[in-house]
Amino acid sequence: MQELLNRPKGLHRTVLIVDDELIEREMLGAILCDYYEIIYTDNGESALEIIKREKLTLSLVLLDLHIPKLDGFSLLKIIRSDSELWRIPVIMLTAEKEAEVESLQLGAADFITKPYDAPDVIRARVNHSIELAEDRIIILDTERDALTGLFNKEFFFEYARRMENQNNNMPMDAIVIDVNRFHIINELYGKDYADLILKRIGNSIHDLVTQVGGLACRSNSNCFGIYVPHIENYKVQLPMYISMIEKGLEDTRITIRMGVYLDEGQKIDLEQRFERAALVCRKIGSNYSTCYDVYNTALHTKELHSERLINDMDSALIEKQFKVFYQPKYSIKDNKPVFTSFEALVRWYHPEYGLITPDEFIVLFEDNGLIRQLDRYVWNEAAAQIRKWRDEFGFSIPVSVNVSRVDAFNPKLVETLKNIIENNGINNEDLLLEITESAYADNSQQIINTVVVLRDNGFKIEMDDFGSGYSSLNMLCSLPIDALKLDMKFVKNICNNQKDYRLVGIMTEIARLLEVPVIVEGVETEQQLKLLKEIGCDIIQGYYFSKPLPAEDITELIRKTVQGE
Amino acid sequence: MNKEDFYLRLVNIAINDTKLTELEQQLSNNDLDSAFETAHALKGVYSNLSLTPLTIPISEMVNLLRNKTDTDYSKLLNEEKTQFQFLCNL
């Protein structure tokens, strides 16, 4: 295209007339010379020489069929099959009707019949052929990615949409291909090598779509899109596609991954199908054991649901859709269990989805940091409730609250908690803080420092989910904690799994060593309770005694207990 | 050069052309392939110059020669030569 852009405006395009008849050359030249620069020649060999020499400036060849040395059809074939010459349009000059069809079949842009008795028609045909060829060059150069020769994203979608409209609803799958660890290749081996790899992948993808039908594009630096006829058995086909593409990379250790949106009759927009395929491709991400995956509607629905929950959180806090429930913890040291404290557990009453349990939203909020707002909400609610109970019953009942790992690393944590305590007029030891064991494993020294400061300020710390994280025995010994709370999964099978029973025993021993009580949650049956008592656990929490209840129910429970005493 | 001068120059070139003599020779040698090429070229030139009396017999010859028809071409050739001579005498 550069040669087109380089041409000064108004400069005549150059046309080559090839005819061995001087009179015919002259006549044709006379028709065109006011509009074009004309080069003349009378034989095929000299024409080819001129075409090769002037390939960047020649706009059109007018080629007679019967010329010496190299006949018109042979020359046309050479031009059309030459990668440097094929962009130059050729109009055949003929008096023979039969030659017209063959000319067009061999790739001629048009034909002009002799005699030249309609100059205006000849000029119009010449002009039209040049315009078409120039437009085609512009389109070819803009529709393609320069590196790989595949379509660029915009043209790809345009052509895919056209294909979709024309193919009578033939199902087509959307596939997104990414190069694993491409940034590393770029950094380690440089841009030239990375480009070479992309070029090779582009070639393989081109071969693939040529073979199976469809279209391909390079959508961004190391990402490709292909739109191919629907795959019936993707578990067989996709590995085949991958190996076809990776074949071009055999001498490297570079691999690719594929995210696929299978067309199973869903009526969704083309771009959306590719977005979903890209989503799947991103999800495979660093999981090198999988090289492809297909989009799953259920998974997507779940993601949309998660996104909705995240978006709704702010208004839920304002509208107090989160309700704090309380589950009693009972000391089982004596024959008769005695409740010692509560754990504050949050529930979300969503206006549309109804009751949502924490396992649905806590992980989401932990991922994006929103958990800090929720933690504060629960801490405030719990602190206010402790105060209410103290006002009503005349004594404080401690409530444990969860401190997420995000909060555990917050330098203002102590200050925030102290403010809450102060605002509600309760004591630091009334608000027990549960920090999950895995937070300790993430950055043990920092968390230990935080916990030390909290304890120095009078807060009690319970290590939550003990046994599910990766605490080292060494760390445990130096850990400043006030209670160990066992992960509930150990309790679940304690009655029929000897290993779990013994593990609970070992963890209880560790608690003894650390001189802190053991709290066991998730206790649902009498038999579990019996075994835990046997092992020597101190405090029990679970449905066996009580499910988490709203504050008013708990108030009633306390009232009854107090009256019973 | 105006259009008329240009036309007359081309007609003059056609008059001085030796292709008609070549055609006669090729026919007498029964070289029908070469005769076709030559007749075809002449047809193009004469028709482009709108030399209708010359175009009619040569077109007929081209059609016969294209199919390599083994026939007596002398009548058509003589007609062509007569018309050519007539043009030269103008």
ipTM value: 0.81
For residues A470 and A488, membership in a common domain is answered with yes
For residues A463 and A388, membership in a common domain is answered with yes
Contact B21, B51 (CB under 8 A): no
Q: Judge: B48–A116 Cβ closer than 8 Å, yes or no.
A: yes
Bridge partner residues of A486 (DSSP): A466, A520
Chains A and B form CB pairs within 8 A to the count of: 36
> Which domain does A161 fall in, by range?
151-295
**pLDDT (tens digit per residue) in A207-262:** 999 999 999 999 988 999 999 999 989 899 999 999 999 888 877 888 899 999 99
The CATH number linked to A19 is 3.40.50.2300
Does residue A303 sit within a domain?
no
Does residue A305 sit within a domain?
no
Helix orientation angle between B52-66 and B74-89, rounded to the nearest 10 degrees: 150
Q: Is residue A391 classed exposed, middle or buried when 0-12, 13-18 and 19+ CB atoms within 10 A define those classes?
A: exposed
**pLDDT (tens digit per residue) in A113-167:** 888 888 899 999 999 999 999 888 888 888 889 899 999 999 999 999 988 888 7
Question: Do you find a cis peptide bond into A229, omega within 30 degrees of 0?
Answer: no
Rounded Cα–Cα distance for residues A170 and A165 (Å): 10
Residue A388 has pLDDT above 90, yes or no: yes
Q: Which of B11, B48, B51, B56 to mutate to test the interface with A (most CBs of A within 10 A)?
A: B48
Locate tokens 């509607």: which residue? A297
- Residues whose CB is less than 8 angstroms from the CB of residue A39 and which lie 6 or more positions away in sequence, other chains included: A14, A15, A16, A17, A50, A54, A58
For residues A328 and A422, membership in a common domain is answered with yes
Residue A390 has pLDDT above 70, yes or no: yes
| pLDDT, position A443 | 67
Q: Judge: A115–B14 Cβ closer than 8 Å, yes or no.
A: no
Structure tokens at A201: 């992948």
Q: Out of A26, A30, A66, whose CB is closest to B41?
A: A66
For residues A332 and A243, membership in a common domain is answered with no
For residues A211 and A135, membership in a common domain is answered with no
Ramachandran region, residue B38 (left: φ > 0; alpha: ψ -120 to 50; beta: rest): alpha
For residues A410 and A490, membership in a common domain is answered with yes
Q: Out of A21, A30, A66, whose CB is closest to B45?
A: A21
For residues A115 and A193, membership in a common domain is answered with no
Residue A279 has pLDDT above 90, yes or no: no
Residue of chain A whose alpha carbon sits nearest to that of B41: A21
Buried b (16+ CB within 10 A) or exposed e, A474-509: eebeebebbbbbbbbebbeebeeeeebbebbbebbe
Locate tokens 């779509």: which residue? A209
Contacting A with CB below 8 Å, chain B residues are: 6, 10, 13-14, 37, 40-41, 43-45, 47-50
Q: Judge: B48–A115 Cβ closer than 8 Å, yes or no.
A: yes
Does residue A425 sit within a domain?
yes
Q: Judge: A27–B48 Cβ closer than 8 Å, yes or no.
A: yes
Q: Judge: B48–A22 Cβ closer than 8 Å, yes or no.
A: no
For residues A136 and A160, membership in a common domain is answered with no
For residues A402 and A510, membership in a common domain is answered with yes
Query: Which is higher by pLDDT, B1 or A430?
Result: A430
Q: Judge: A21–B6 Cβ closer than 8 Å, yes or no.
A: no
Chain B residues whose CB is inside 8 A of the A116 CB are 48
For residues A453 and A553, membership in a common domain is answered with yes
Does residue A332 sit within a domain?
yes
Query: Which is higher by pLDDT, B52 or A441?
Result: B52
For residues A206 and A246, membership in a common domain is answered with yes
Helix orientation angle between A358-368 and A297-318, rounded to the nearest 10 degrees: 80
Structure tokens at A399: 């409530």
Mean pLDDT of A425-449: 84
The CATH number linked to A203 is 3.30.70.270
The CATH number linked to A460 is 3.20.20.450
The C-alpha of B45 sits at a distance from chain A's nearest C-alpha, in angstroms, of: 6
Mean pLDDT of A84-105: 87
Chain A residues whose CB is inside 8 A of the B43 CB are 95
Structural domain total, chain A: 3
**pLDDT (tens digit per residue) in A475-524:** 777 778 899 998 888 888 888 888 889 999 999 998 998 899 999 999 99
Read off the pLDDT band of A8 (50, 70, 90): very low
Does residue A537 sit within a domain?
yes
Choose among A175, A140, A145: nearest CA to A270. A175
Structural domain total, chain B: 1
Q: Judge: B45–A23 Cβ closer than 8 Å, yes or no.
A: yes
**pLDDT (tens digit per residue) in A174-210:** 999 999 888 888 888 889 999 999 999 999 999 999 9
Rounded Cα–Cα distance for residues A431 and A329 (Å): 14
* Three-class DSSP category at A400: strand
Contact A460, A482 (CB under 8 A): yes
Bridge partner residues of A60 (DSSP): A15
Does residue A309 sit within a domain?
no
Q: Which of B45, B54, B87 to mutate to test the interface with A (most CBs of A within 10 A)?
A: B45
Alpha helices in A394-443 (DSSP H): 405-408, 413-424, 437-442
| pLDDT, position A165 | 83
Contact A71, A44 (CB under 8 A): yes
Task: Please tell me the number of Cα atoms within 13 Å of A150 on its side-chain side.
Answer: 33
For residues A284 and A328, membership in a common domain is answered with no
Does residue A310 sit within a domain?
no
| pLDDT, position A336 | 85
Chain A residues whose CB is inside 8 A of the B50 CB are 115, 117
The CATH number linked to B12 is 1.20.120
Read off the pLDDT band of A472 (50, 70, 90): low
Rounded Cα–Cα distance for residues A321 and A38 (Å): 83
